[in-house]
Amino acid sequence: MVVNTTGPYSMPILKASGIEDFPLAPTAGSMVVYGGRYVNSVINRMREPSDGGDIVLPYGEVSVVGTIATVIEDPDNFKVHEEDVAMMLDEAKRMVPVIGAMQYKRIYSSVRPLIRSSDDPRKATRSFAIIDHGTSGLPPGFLSVLGGKFTTGRLVGYEAARHASEYSGFHVKDVEFDFNTTYERFLSFRGGGDRAVDSLLLHFGSTDQERLMPALAFLLSRRLMD
């Protein structure tokens, strides 16, 4: 079988396969990076999705402002427009005024394989879908994995593997994920007097958490073994 997991490049692959009707909306997202850490937690404007400038987040020793969302046709050819960046930064400095006095270091962009739910890219769902094209008249054994995001990657992989295994005649054992027990043990270390653990826990809930979690997991595993 073939499992199509090519993200934003799924669109030309599906069209080359004779499939014209699919819910993919390749969306370019752009963010701006500043050279200083101006916030210690994620600052998010609580409002309906808009054109940008509604989030400021820390990442190590830098700050990131986002985000612009634009539906595109070609993932290899898209442009970030200066007026969009200016608008995003003007909105961001309303939340964190110091940004208005600083010069950003760089802009980065990526194309996300979002699922189209309306004509507004800001309202595209972050959910995912696994489509069996055998139900569309194509030969069986052609699946496409569309949508999703970084934080749902493991779940997407689990569901894609389950679909592929069932097609092959194998049964994947159902797994009951017990996050509560792990989380409770994790929180039990707060204020427990372990300075190394406490210092890492200060970053819990921020984007630094993604970088520090491997170190924290190793440290906790050593403590639990003691």
pLDDT digits 0-9 by tens, 1-28: 889 988 888 888 888 888 877 778 888 8
Average pLDDT, the chain: 78
* 30 and 118 together in one domain: yes
**So what's the pLDDT on residue 65?**
93
* 13 and 103 together in one domain: no
Top pLDDT among 43 and 124 is at 43
Query: How many domains does the structure of the chain reveal?
Result: 3
The DSSP call for residue 78 is -
For residue 78 the two structure tokens come to: 């898209």
Tell me, rounded to whole angstroms, the distance of Cα 116 from its chain centroid: 16
From 26-35, 50-59, 194-203, the region with the lowest mean pLDDT = 194-203
**So what's the pLDDT on residue 203?**
63
* 16 and 83 together in one domain: no
* 119 and 100 together in one domain: yes
Domain containing 150: what range?
2-22+129-168
**So what's the pLDDT on residue 127?**
79
Q: Which helix (H) or strand (E) holds 95?
A: helix 82-95
